[in-house]
Structure 1
């Protein structure tokens, strides 16, 4: 089986700062793979490099066995879509939800917009009553559902999820994570999920890569993490910090 995504010796630099330093990983088709680490670990930069939003200084990225060039083609964005951390910032405040969902279809020359928009809203648990509302008229959880619908409307194979629930209330986070898991199962999607929350990654992902200062630290399965089969002190510290935060919350 072809890997959905392969990253080899990836380096990303901004001026003199090395944000990602020698990261390699492979994600199987239909797998949910996590990137974990504290703020500044480079995990989101890896996603942005895949999406073509961060410069690749060295190394290669391949999607479906095809090595990506410096720029991303339209076909790439049909296959790979990204959901950002801030659902308000990623939606145009003066565009209705209908327009936000119609825009990618127009860009890619896909017809049948009416039916696709209705289907996309239903798939993420929003009715057609949301079509002509504006982002400020929606809750944070509803906005993130719209962002997910916009990513799904092109029927991609891979979703890049950058902290998709960290800007949401705790009560809403579980709903959105369950929605993402349901969609992945139904569509057979591949996920690459970035999170600082080990509990989220353990719940959502089969495997995860722990990162620190732009470098890979440890590759684990979620079963390893749950059973505390951890080899590095840094991963252990992350786990303790995550648990301590939950107890005090």
Structure 2
């Protein structure tokens, strides 16, 4: 039996000390198979983004285990780790350096890891995310939000990782652009055999992109379920059920509040 691509066991993340101590993640456990897309959902402050940051070394692991392809991750992470796992952040306006061209943004990880033939790799990365060579020497302010996020995805993919950590990758984009980026991510996963962990508060996004998901609340794992169960509105946990109902919006038949101006 092969090891899962990612195996998270009893993960704890604690910030601060003494009375200021905050336990952001409390004994979270899940695993993700190679080629799978796995979702982490929950309200703001539930710890889902902190899990991603702990995996990639941006938040401290206070307890538990993180294994990638059967190997325990080390602190600090080595270059081999970042050739295996890359992250796409929520805000493409903040994650790209405003004074770096697309060419410099994409060439930097290649230089750090000693990858040769940078020009070919950069043009290939642009094609993979649906952008042509004309974007190569543009600055972030010359790009739309969707184009910026495509560049962020290209930067994550240029080292040919096996795993992408996606932290709300479409929440800063317009609704029409969100669908384009989600379809791009789905196509890339199938073409490249990638493994995803997607963090989102939008259950529709998770149901579209993921096969399985973990519901989190106050840093704890509440329930693991499937996207099929999510779409059908089935949940064994009352909190998960409340998330599903909230995502479906208000019913048109709901009673309207009495107007304060009524006479």
Instruction: Give the TM-score normalised by the residue count of structure 2.
Output: 0.92
Misfit runs of 4+, over 2 Å: none
Alignment deviations for residues 177-231 of structure 1 (CA, whole Å, 9 cap, x no partner): 0000000000000000000000000000000000000000000011111122201
- Residue number in structure 2 paired with 1:14: 15
Choose from 131, 140, 149 the match for 1:144.
149
Match of 1:120 among 122, 125, 143: 125
* Residue 186 of structure 1: aligned partner: 191
Alignment size in residue pairs: 247
Question: For residues 243 and 127 of structure 1, what CA distance do their matches in structure 2 show?
Answer: 38
3-state SS of 1:89 partner:
helix
Aligned-partner SS, 1:166 = coil
Deviates more, 1:229-238 or 1:180-189: 229-238
Q: Residue 134 of structure 2 aligns with which residue?
A: 129
What residue in structure 2 maps to residue 83 of structure 1?
88
Secondary structure, counterpart of 1:117 in structure 2: helix
Equivalent in the alignment of 1:99:
104
Shift of 1:237: 1.1
Per the alignment, in what secondary structure is the counterpart of residue 100 of structure 1? helix
Shift of 1:245: 6.9
The equivalences for 1:134-173 within 5 A come to 134-173=139-178
1:218 equivalent in structure 2: 223
Aligned-partner SS, 1:191: strand
Q: Tell me how far apart the structure 2 counterparts of residues 245 and 74 of structure 1 sit (CA, whole Å).
A: 48
User: Relative to 1, partners in 2 of residues 1:245 and 1:129: Cα closer, same or farther, differing over 3 Å?
Assistant: farther
TM-score, normalised to structure 1, is 0.97
Paired with 2:227 and 2:123, the residues of 1 have a C-alpha distance of 36
Where structure 2 has 5 or more consecutive residues not aligned to the other structure, the ranges are 253-263
